């Protein structure tokens, strides 16, 4: 400063008290004076340290808020998807009465609504197929009963006729072919009885 220069020392140096200070100096030629100013390093950096601590606290708070928001939004988004996955698994294992029932105006809500519509359509189609199957089985049953009825009447008639013929052969005088007739009539009667039992 006494040499007429302007300068400063930001590295810091010890003053007469032994405290570390920062200095600034300037020579004023009009007055033939020099001005020096010193300030304690702790005093200079105190505001910066406080600002640094404040920024650290704010950054930590923002981090906590961000993590909490991420967890909240993550659960809000993943929870319906996990539920939809579980309902899909139950439905694929055969429980067709499953519905998602999520009503929201976002993509998850649209997906849930589409899934419920699909599930209802599948359930209705299966019910229609079961009804159609039941009707077909009923028709087949009626047809089988009709066929059995139409077969049993002639078979019963054949069995009765063979009984009559066998009785008449017993009463008739011995003929050379009566044994053969009896054997054939007995086989015919047994066949008719077997078909009637079916």
Q: Please list the ranges in the chain whose pLDDT falls under 70.
A: 1, 172-178, 196, 198
Q: What is the pLDDT, as a whole number, of residue 49?
A: 83
Six-digit token string for 152: 């049993």
Q: Exposed, middle or buried by CB within 10 Å (0-12, 13-18, 19+), for 102?
A: buried
Distance of alpha carbon 74 from alpha carbon 85, whole angstroms: 16
Place of tokens 């601590």: 53
Q: What is the pLDDT, as a whole number, of residue 172?
A: 67
Name the CA radius of gyration of the chain, rounded.
Answer: 54
**Sign of the dihedral defined by the CA atoms of residues 170, 176, 178, 183, in that order:** positive
Q: Encode pLDDT of 32-45 as tens digits.
A: 888 888 888 888 78
> E strands along the chain, which residues?
6-14, 20-28, 33-40
- Bridge partners of 6, per DSSP, are 26
Q: Comparing C-alpha atoms, which of 137, 87, 95 is closest to residue 112?
A: 87
pTM higher than the cut 0.75: no
Q: Comparing C-alpha atoms, which of 180, 178, 153 is closest to residue 168?
A: 178
For residue 152, give Cα distances in angstroms to 89, 110, 160, 190, 192.
Answer: 52, 62, 12, 14, 9
Distance of alpha carbon 8 from alpha carbon 1, whole angstroms: 10
Distance of alpha carbon 24 from alpha carbon 9, whole angstroms: 7
Q: What is the pLDDT, as a whole number, of residue 178?
A: 67
């Amino acid at each position: 400063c006494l040499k007429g220069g302007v300068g400063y020392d930001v590295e810091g140096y010890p003053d007469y008290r032994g405290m570390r200070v920062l200095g600034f100096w300037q020579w004023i030629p009009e007055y033939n004076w020099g001005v020096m100013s010193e300030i304690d390093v702790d005093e200079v950096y105190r505001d910066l340290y406080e600002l640094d601590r404040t920024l650290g606290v704010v950054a930590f708070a923002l981090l906590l808020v961000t993590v909490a928001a991420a967890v909240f939004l993550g659960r809000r988004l993943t929870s319906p998807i996990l539920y939809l996955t579980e309902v899909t698994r139950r439905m694929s294992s055969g429980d067709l009465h499953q519905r998602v029932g999520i009503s929201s105006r976002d993509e998850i809500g649209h997906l849930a609504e589409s899934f419920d519509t699909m599930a209802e359509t599948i359930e209705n189609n299966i019910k229609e197929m079961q009804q159609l199957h039941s009707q077909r089985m009923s028709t087949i049953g009626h047809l089988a009963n009709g066929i059995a009825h139409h077969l049993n009447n002639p078979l019963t008639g054949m069995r009765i006729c063979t009984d009559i013929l066998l009785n008449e052969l017993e009463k008739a005088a011995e003929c050379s072919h009566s044994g053969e007739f009896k054997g054939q009539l007995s086989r015919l009667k047994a066949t008719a009885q077997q078909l009637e039992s079916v």
